[in-house]
């Protein structure tokens, strides 16, 4: 449901906000994640169970923060409110970079499924060109306003729900326990090491839990609708992720699944013994991920806009058109994403996808940790004693899980992620010096 406020800025209701959360979470991984986890094996199912505890805690923290700061802009606003300008700047710096990188991962999924229909899209030059064209298409779509983005994303998501639910529910008819167990622990690591190594990929599934919070400025009645959309979105996405990943590992042989650039298409082709089913699934996957990309572009633009309004990002990111959209900021984002495509292009969509998500997940977890601790600071004088300590425990649990996920990530990329975080100090120093010089001139 879309709504227009008194200023004429388009807003979205609770259903559209829920679709934003669910679609952003699913679109960021459901169509490629089964192949990534197949490289670890069915033992990753244990990782899902452990991860779900941390993610539920994180979702509840974000839901509470949305009530405490109903017009906030997600992790950035929470960190700034709790810890001041520098941590707020650092959070937005890291979060924005993670978004820019993550958006490119969706392009790899789109091109991977396109290549399943038209092999010509496997060519590196054509793949890169296609990804850049899609970037600019959805930038234009976002510039037209949140209402248009919500319509596109909700429509694509509803269409995609049918095959996702079909595989999650009826795929068990084709499930073969022998196939599943043959790929139980293909990494040949100890059980604890294999489970730990699955967390980075699994956390990718839940990136987007904060989507409604970040987009609170375009959500009607955010104090009620943002927490509700967050909890419902996480619940729906969790059920679909766990069930589809599990059932597909029992249908598609492990080596085939791990090497697939279009795992859902390969699964349906096996289920129905015809490539036509895979082609239909590819079309649906392309439309759904495209819708999710539209939503993520909205989230990224709103985050940069909020930081610009607080004078922590260049003012150009805060300039909006008559629909309340930061059009110039989105255009800058499109340029950066186009450069990332060129820098990360790989021989296969799966290789490019894995390269991107490992780095971006580590970056996302840093703002999540700040948010988990922020609820302890922001809630001190705003909630009752029992409620406060309940959220302190949730915040500690969510932060501990995020830290654990970082420790289990690829070590060289973890080092690079923290170097990126530290580099934000340099940029903040230049920004503060410029601000000081402006005061002296006055």
* 440 assigned to some structural domain: no
Which of the four pLDDT bands, split at 50, 70 and 90, describes residue 30? confident
Mean of pLDDT over the chain: 85
Q: Can you tell me the mean pLDDT for 225-243? A: 89
Q: Does 439 fall in a domain?
A: no
Partner residues linked to 346 by β-bridges: none
* pLDDT 10s digits, 43-88: 999 999 888 899 889 988 998 898 888 877 789 889 999 999 899 8
Asked if the structure places residue 242 within a domain, the reply is yes
User: Given this model, what pLDDT does residue 10 score?
Assistant: 56
Task: Give Cα 441 to chain centroid, integer Å.
Answer: 43
Q: What is the CATH number of the domain that holds 341?
A: 1.20.1740.10
Contact status, residue 56 vs residue 395, Cβ threshold 8 Å: no
What pLDDT sits at residue 1? Answer: 41
Residue 129 above 90 pLDDT?
A: yes
- How far is the C-alpha of 330 from the C-alpha of 234, rounded, in Å? 27
Q: How confident is the model at residue 222 (pLDDT cuts 50, 70, 90)?
A: confident
Structure tokens at 75: 């992790």
Banded pLDDT at 166 (limits 50, 70, 90)? very high
| Alpha carbons 236 and 238: distance in angstroms, whole number | 6
Question: 12: which strand partners?
Answer: 2, 219
Domain total in the chain: 1
Q: How confident is the model at residue 424 (pLDDT cuts 50, 70, 90)?
A: confident
In a domain, 296, yes or no: yes
pLDDT per residue over 280-334, tens digit each? 999 998 888 887 787 778 777 877 887 788 777 788 888 888 877 888 989 998 9
Average pLDDT over residues 391-404: 93
- Residue at 441 is within a domain: no
- Please give the model's pTM, rounded to 2 decimal places: 0.81
Q: Is residue 55 part of a domain?
A: yes
Q: How confident is the model at residue 436 (pLDDT cuts 50, 70, 90)?
A: low
Q: Is 298 part of any domain?
A: yes
Give CA–CA dist 12/136, Å, rounded: 23
Distance from C-alpha of 277 to C-alpha of 175, rounded to nearest angstrom: 17
Instruction: Tell whether 204 is covered by a domain.
Output: yes
**CA–CA gap between residue 361 and residue 356 (Å, rounded):** 9
DSSP annotation string for 16-33? HHHHHHHHHHHHTTTTTH
H/E stretch holding 360: helix 349-378
Q: What percent of the chain has pLDDT over 90?
A: 31
Question: Do 144 and 346 form a contact (C-beta atoms < 8 A)?
Answer: no
Q: What is the pLDDT of residue 438?
A: 59
Give me the pLDDT at residue 4, please: 45
Range of the domain at 65: 2-434
CB-CB contact of 199 with 358 (8 Å): no
């Amino acid at each position: 449901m879309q709504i227009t406020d008194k200023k004429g800025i388009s807003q979205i209701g609770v259903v559209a906000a829920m679709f934003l959360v669910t679609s952003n979470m699913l679109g960021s991984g459901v169509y490629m994640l089964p192949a990534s986890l197949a490289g670890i094996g069915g033992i990753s199912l244990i990782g899902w169970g452990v991860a779900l505890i941390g993610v539920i805690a994180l979702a509840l923290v974000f839901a509470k923060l949305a009530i405490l700061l109903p017009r906030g802009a997600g992790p950035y606003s929470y960190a700034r409110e709790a810890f001041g300008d520098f941590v707020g700047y650092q959070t937005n710096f890291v979060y924005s970079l993670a978004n820019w990188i993550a958006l490119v991962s969706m392009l790899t999924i789109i091109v991977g499924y396109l290549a399943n229909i038209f092999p010509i899209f496997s060519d590196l030059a054509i793949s890169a060109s296609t990804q850049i064209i899609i970037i600019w298409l959805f930038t234009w779509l976002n510039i037209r306003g949140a209402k248009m983005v919500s319509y596109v994303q909700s429509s694509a998501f509803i269409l995609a729900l049918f095959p996702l639910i079909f595989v999650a529910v009826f795929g068990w008819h084709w499930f073969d326990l022998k196939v599943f167990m043959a790929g139980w622990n293909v990494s040949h690591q100890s059980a604890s090491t294999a489970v730990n190594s699955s967390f980075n990929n699994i956390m990718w599934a839940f990136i987007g839990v904060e989507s409604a919070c970040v987009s609170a400025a375009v959500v009607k009645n955010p104090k009620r609708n943002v927490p509700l959309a967050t909890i419902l979105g996480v619940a729906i996405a969790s059920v679909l992720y766990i069930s589809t990943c599990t059932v597909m590992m029992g249908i598609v042989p492990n080596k085939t699944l791990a090497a697939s650039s279009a795992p859902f298409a390969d699964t349906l082709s096996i289920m129905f013994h015809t490539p036509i089913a895979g082609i239909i699934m590819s079309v649906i996957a392309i439309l759904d991920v495209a819708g999710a990309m539209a939503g993520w572009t909205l989230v990224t633009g709103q985050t940069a806009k909020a930081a610009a309004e607080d004078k922590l990002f260049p003012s150009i990111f805060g300039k909006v058109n008559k629909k309340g959209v930061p059009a110039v900021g989105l255009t800058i984002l499109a340029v950066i994403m186009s450069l990332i495509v060129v820098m990360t292009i790989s021989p296969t969509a799966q290789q490019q996808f894995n390269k991107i998500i490992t780095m971006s997940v580590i970056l996302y977890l840093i703002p999540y940790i700040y948010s988990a601790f922020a609820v302890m600071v922001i809630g001190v004088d705003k909630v009752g004693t029992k409620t406060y300590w309940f959220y302190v425990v949730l915040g500690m649990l969510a932060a501990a899980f995020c830290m654990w996920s970082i420790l289990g990530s690829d070590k060289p990329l973890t080092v690079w992620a923290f170097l990126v975080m530290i580099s934000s100090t340099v940029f903040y120093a230049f920004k503060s010096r410029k601000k000081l010089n402006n005061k002296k001139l006055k």
